[in-house]
Amino acid sequence: MKKRFTSISAAILTLIVLSSCNQSEVVNIYSSRHYDSDLALYDAFTKQTGIEVRTIEGGGDELIERMKNEGENSPADILITVDAGRLWRAEQAGVFQSHDSDALNAAVPEVYRDEEDLWIGLSKRVRGIVYHKDRVDVSQLKGYKELAHESWKGRICIRSSNNIYNQSLLASLIEKEGVEEAQAWAESLVGNFAQTPQGGDTDQIRFVAAGICDIAIVNHYYLERLRLSEQESDRTTAAQVGIWFPPQEFGGTHVNISGAGLAKYAPNQENGLRFLEFLITPEAQQLYAIANREFSILEDGAEGDGLMGDGIHVSTYGENNPEAIRMMDRAGWK
């Protein structure tokens, strides 16, 4: 009897919390980003609008599953996650609703937003080629396709195949080159690995600096974090390497995004939409993107060093994701 009473009490408490969320000026954010710059952004939004930001953090796939399980009772107004592949997963899971905002469509370039207005990109991150300054002549670097050449045999470090960033990179090559060429590329790339994939992007940079490999494929901001670190060892590591972004003549640079969408059952839908529109203002982009060493999603945002994207619509990363995973398995990419 006591156990039943406790369960009923917990259910009543949940209803009270959800009810208070609906009656207050709040916006509830489910986010897989865990950066101090995001907290500063939430504070800025509250100061500007008077709307309190409440957050639940977790992994992207974990939050998507949570929203599915919560269904119509979900308190989520906004889901923020990284990588277009995960935004596509959320779209397929049915946890988004279309927004009705001319401001969002006008500000965010078409290649970085969903065609049905289910999600938008908020910041850009690019997958660059980190190289050891003493062992690699930068003139040797071209595009991602050229990393399959036998001259790179035993010289490449990269994360495992279960990493969404690498899945999206391969998905983009499927879109550009077709299945057969992308499969051949994956197999040749695996043949050029210096070691079995392990660790995160920061580890790949450290492997290059330590001489385990000569080059690595990483998101650019991981190197920036090492360069700006308070730890001298991190700065020393960063000083030993450079980063190369493939130019247009070699297919351009792979661009991915952080992004967000309006939750399907958002109890504070209007506040959620105001929050999304706030995120794409130039002021918010300074906090959201640049403070984390990413690039602004706005068309006139700085890309840095003449960086040019490959022009592929990021939604294809999700659409081609299942084939990319099968391709990695066939190639023996651990």
Tell me the percentage of the chain whose pLDDT exceeds 70.
Answer: 90
Q: Residue 294 — very low, low, confident or very high, per pLDDT cuts 50/70/90?
A: confident
Task: Give yes or no for residue 8 having a pLDDT over 60.
Answer: no
Sign of CA dihedral 55, 58, 64, 65: negative
Round the average pLDDT of the chain to a whole number and report it: 89
> Are 23 and 278 contacting, i.e. CB atoms less than 8 angstroms apart?
no
Task: Give yes or no for residue 187 having a pLDDT over 60.
Answer: yes
Question: Rounded to 5 degrees, what are φ and ψ at 306?
Answer: 70, 20
Instruction: Give 74-94 pLDDT, tens digit per residue.
Output: 999 999 998 999 999 999 999
Structure tokens at 121: 């990109």
Q: Residue 24 — very low, low, confident or very high, per pLDDT cuts 50/70/90?
A: low
Instruction: Give 283-293 pLDDT, tens digit per residue.
Output: 899 877 777 78
**Across the chain, where does the E strand assignment appear?**
26-31, 52-57, 78-82, 96-97, 120-132, 156-157, 215-219, 241-244, 254-263, 295-296
Q: Among 64-68, 70-74, 122-126, whose mean pLDDT is lowest?
A: 122-126
In 263-286, which positions are buried (b, 16+ CB within 10 angstroms) versus exposed (e)?
A: bbbbbbeebbbbbbbbbbbeebbb
Instruction: Give 95-139 pLDDT, tens digit per residue.
Output: 999 998 999 999 999 999 999 999 999 999 999 999 999 999 999
As to burial, measured by CB atoms within 10 angstroms (0-12 exposed, 13-18 middle, 19+ buried), residue 7 is exposed
Task: Give yes or no for residue 331 having a pLDDT over 60.
Answer: yes
* Domains assigned to the chain: 26-124+255-303 (3.40.190.10), 126-253+317-331 (3.40.190.10)
